[in-house]
Homo-oligomer: A and B are copies of this chain.
Amino acid sequence: MNRHRRLAVQFLLLTIVFWSTAPSPVRADEGMWLFNNPPRELLKTKYHFDVDDAWLDHLMHSAVRFNSGGSGSFVSADGLVMTNHHVATDALQKLSTSDRDLVATGFYAKTRDAEIKCLDLELNVLQGIEDVTARVNGAVKTDMSPADAEKARRAVMNTIEQEASEKTGLRCDVVTLYQGGRYHLYRYKKYTDVRLVFAPEKDIAFFGGDPDNFEYPRYNLDCAFFRAYEDGKPAHVQHFRKWNAGGPADGELVFVVGHPGRTKRSLTVADIEFSRDVHVTRALDRMRRREVLLRTYAERSAENARRAQDELFGVQNERKRLIGILAGLQDPSLLANVRESEKKLRSAAGKLDPDPWVQVKEVIAASDRIYIDLGLFEYGGGFDCDLFDIARSIVRLVDETPKPNAQRLRDYRESNLESLKQWLFSEAPIYTDLETIKLADALSYLIEKKGVNDPLVAQVLAGHSPRDRAAELIAKTRVADVAVRKQLATLSSAELAKSDDPMIQLARLVDPKARELREIDEQQDEVQRQAYAKIAAVRFGIDGDRTYPDATFTLRLAFGIVRGYDLPGAGVHIPAWTTLAGVFERSAQHGNAPPFDLPQSWAASKSKLDGSVPFNFITTADVVGGNSGSPCVNRKGEVVGLIFDGNLDSLVLDFAYTEQTARSLAVHTGAMLEALRKVYDASDLADEITGVARR
């Protein structure tokens, strides 16, 4: 530590006294904590709870990540995995046809033989974490240009992963934490033979639909069960969650073990303002556009509605989420707090040269200049359809795999190829009519943003209107056929260049521009990582390890208590619980009209159900998107609920934690059992999860 830095740290120590007078995160139920740095002290102080290593290890090994986006957990020794219906929907949709809509009708495999193998679902179970910060940062020299630094960092990350993967046989990912402040290596056991065991009907899983999404009170049986298989047999797992059908008590401490997707709490004010002014508003415009497109497609027929339902749900969910976030960011009070914190942090940091806050701001300005093009060409906004994504991945796979692993684009690194091919060669259905309207709209969007006279756009459209060009591309490409994809992927780059497949040609046409933009973006990202690493160092200097990094879709431990809340200024208290009886009342209030209609199975079972059984409940635990499907466990590690949503006030958690009215929502274990036994006649499954018997 040089003298300058040492002085800065001494100054930091002095400021801690001042900091502790401000509202401290230590007192709140805040945090998405790393499993290799759990909040031992905080839990001890606030809840007199000792984090036991075996307890922690058990939670970690029974946690499951759905690579399609979501969380889950083992709930039996035979590899039974619990998650949300809305996490399962991706798999359900891919297994559905015009004659069999598993999303709508639900499914129950009465025997193991009847369990249906998913088409491309990959589950990950974390086995261990290793800090590789020194090795990653060691590869990047201080005098390197951003371009060289980015290459060096990518090379060492690709290499670490490949080495670890070869050594352990596990999936190994280097994860960037604290926006660049730390690098940890995560090792996962991977399951690719995953079978569907149970899903309820969408109408009860997502009762209330978009109007009730992110709201509370709720009445959703948002659960589903899969089974992990190994060598064609149910996986025998040592670590799985015990079931506690009684659920949690009011005010009880609970833990959430899952994979929060992405938060932006440690961003600088400038970065948050960029989110508010650019990121979120542009993403919202795109979401509204996609929502209208998909809805108008879906409303033309029941079959269209079935084809579009999963994507439409995702878009509506994201639209509602972003509106909630924007409302938070446009509320002056939230940003005032962030501004105040940053002021203190900068003052604690003293004079840094270059100033990392200024560096971040410069990168933002630079990234704003390529923002739209990057979205159009690299992230596919101008070509939004599955067949383009597939064609582009084939083009890049063929271009990247001959290169040494260290030099490849991250997605094509050796340790990721298996997962990539799981998706690329999936037999998931592709609907050409839906593909055509999506691509036509994307090409129209491309024109809107770049103008008809842009030379690349002109080449893309080849003299046609967006609709005609999209229709031609989708009709003539052969990459909808998995055998064709596999064959194309074996070609050399030169051979592929000769392919007359129009979608492959399009992907090749666009790729130089897309890669150019990506390279600029990655260099900007490198500069930002370095700046944020400095800011993180200042923060570590103050907080030590009493801090947690922003969410990265990796395993985290959150905690909170089961608690209702008062609506501000309304004199209304929202209780922590709803009951099974409540869903029948709410449906009746809406004349049983969609999306408040109940499936036939529930209407028929009303008299059998115990209406007093809790249905959904809320907690103060710090939960965001990606946590969907996370188990809610008690001090003993028993599962007492299943996280499926947050309320509207929780949407700002992406940027700042608050527990006044923000709540995470869970399905009660009692409700799941009651429904399995009395609505779905699924006693074998109920017995398996409660450990009564082995079927």
Q: Which residues of A contact B (CB under 8 A)?
A: 209-211, 277, 281, 285, 288-289, 291-292, 296, 299-302, 319-320, 326-327, 330-333, 444, 447-448, 451-452, 463-468, 590-591, 593, 595
Contacts and interface: CB of A to CB of B under 8 A. Distances in A.
A328 to B, nearest CB: 8
B319 A448 contact: no
| Most chain B CB within a 10 A radius of its CB, from A210, A291, A330, A466 | A330
Contacts of A300: 211
B467 A327 contact: yes
Secondary structure call for the A interface: helix
A186 B145 CA distance: 72
Contacts of A464: 332
A330 B466 contact: yes
B299 A451 contact: no
A448 B277 contact: yes
A209 B288 contact: no
Please give me the 4 A-B residue pairs with the lowest Cβ-Cβ distance, nearest first: A331-B465, A211-B300, A288-B288, A288-B292
Given A277-B451, A299-B595, A327 B285 contact: no
A466 B327 contact: yes
A292 B319 contact: yes
Given A292-B291, A292-B319, A330-B465, A299 B210 contact: yes
Nearest to A273: B452
| Most chain B CB within a 10 A radius of its CB, from A285, A319, A332 | A332
A509 B320 CA distance: 32
Given A296-B210, A302-B591, A591-B302, A447 B289 contact: no
A465 B327 contact: yes
B448 A211 contact: no
Contact of A444 (B291, B326, B332, B593): B326
30 contacts: A209-B299, A211-B296, A211-B299, A211-B300, A281-B448, A285-B288, A288-B288, A288-B289, A288-B291, A288-B292, A291-B292, A292-B292, A292-B319, A296-B320, A299-B595, A301-B590, A302-B591, A302-B593, A326-B444, A330-B447, A330-B452, A330-B465, A330-B466, A331-B465, A331-B468, A332-B452, A332-B463, A332-B464, A332-B465, A333-B465
Nearest to A458: B332
Nearest to A589: B301
Contacts of A296: 210-211, 320
Contacts of A285: 285, 288-289
A300 B590 CA distance: 9
A589 to B, nearest CB: 9
Contacts of A289: 285, 288
Contacts of A319: 292
A595 B301 CA distance: 10
A270 to B, nearest CB: 13
Contacts of A291: 288, 292
A226 B331 CA distance: 48
Nearest to A596: B301
A388 to B, nearest CB: 19
Contacts of A452: 330, 332
Contacts of A288: 285, 288-289, 291-292
A331 B292 CA distance: 22
| Most chain B CB within a 10 A radius of its CB, from A296, A320, A333 | A296
A635 to B, nearest CB: 39
A615 B560 CA distance: 63
Given A291-B292, A292-B292, A326-B444, 5 more contacts: A277-B448, A285-B288, A292-B319, A331-B465, A331-B467
A444 B330 contact: yes
Contacts of A595: 299
| Most chain B CB within a 10 A radius of its CB, from A210, A288, A333, A467 | A288
Contacts of A590: 301-302
Contacts of A210: 296, 299
